Amino acid sequence: MSIPKKEITSDKIKDSAKKLFTTKGYSATTIRDIAKESQVNIALINYYYRSKENLFRIIMEESFEQLFKQIIPILNNKDTTLEEKIESLVNNYLEFLLEFPELPLFVLNELKNNPKHLETKINLKKKVSKSSLINQIMAKNSEINPLHFVFNLLGMIVFPFIMKPVISSSKLLENEIFNQIINERKHLIPLWMNSIFNSKTEIDIFNQITKTK
């Protein structure tokens, strides 16, 4: 029997708020919802976090951090091959998303709605575009804009979680199948990415012919 450790009130509030914000969105979540969920007085939320917006900002920054920052070191690691990076990215990220499946849709959507978090965005974009991953992709395929492959890789990893609300109702069985499919993708996506890198366009073939001439 585990001793129910007394959670700190401010954390209890933040956890409840995060749960509600990620599932219902910012505007649809009220202070009273958060108070009810965390079983504290309404005034305590303002006592600890000053305002709803400030509480949201803190949670948003945390979620953003969770969702993006962990992949940066993988992209920037100069000691790994492209194949190793992809495998690492697919495994770590899918494992992470299985734990927090609502995070992508939440962050991407709030990012669209709130034009505030711009600084973080610009930073992210710069870091990705100058990463070791991009260099390795360009070395492998110089004809095609590397952004295409980033879209493909991230899309194959993240998109099922964004589609999840469409395909799976609240049935537990379906959730089981979904998780199984995600686990299958852990080894399939690296395979597919490799096929994509090696698929030749008409232009590529043309260039090869003219070169050998």
Partner DNA sequence: CAAAATTTTAAACAAAAGTTTAAAAAAATT
Partner DNA sequence: AATTTTTTTAAACTTTTGTTTAAAATTTTG
Window contacting a second copy (CB under 8 A); options: 3-11, 49-57, 92-100, 167-175: 167-175
d(CA 176, CA 132): 36
**Cβ atoms 92, 70 nearer than 8 A:** yes
Shortest distance in whole angstroms from residue 67 CB to a second copy: 10
d(CA 58, CA 148): 32
Binding site for DNA (CB under 7 A): 9, 29-32, 40-47, 50-53
In this structure, the chain runs to a length of: 213
Hey, which residues between 90 and 149 contact a second copy (CB under 8 A)?
A: 102, 105, 108-109, 111-113, 115, 118, 121-122, 124-125, 144-145, 147-148
**Cβ atoms 57, 50 nearer than 8 A:** no
Shortest distance in whole angstroms from residue 57 CB to DNA: 11
Could you tell me which residues come within 8 angstroms of residue 105 by beta carbon, excluding any fewer than 6 positions away? 161, 162, 165
The entry of a second copy, DNA, none near residue 52 (CB within 5 to 8 angstroms by kind) is DNA
Which residue number, 87 or 110, has a Cβ lying nearer to DNA?
110
Shortest distance in whole angstroms from residue 13 CB to DNA: 9
Shortest distance in whole angstroms from residue 2 CB to a second copy: 32
d(CA 102, CA 110): 12
Q: What are phi and psi of 8, to 5 degrees?
A: -65, 135
Long-range contacts formed by 129-133: CB under 8 A, 24+ apart: 131/72, 131/75, 131/76, 132/75, 132/76, 132/77, 132/78, 132/80, 132/85, 133/74, 133/75, 133/76, 133/82, 133/85
State which of residues 159, 205, 206, 208 lies at the interface with a second copy (CB under 8 A): 159
What is the total count of residues that contact a second copy (CB under 8 A)?
A: 51
Which residue number, 55 or 156, has a Cβ lying nearer to DNA?
55
Hey, which residues between 70 and 89 contact a second copy (CB under 8 A)?
A: none
Residues that bind a second copy (CB under 8 A): 23-28, 102, 105, 108-109, 111-113, 115, 118, 121-122, 124-125, 144-145, 147-148, 151-152, 154-156, 158-160, 162-163, 165-167, 169-170, 181, 184-185, 187-188, 191-192, 194-196, 198-199, 201
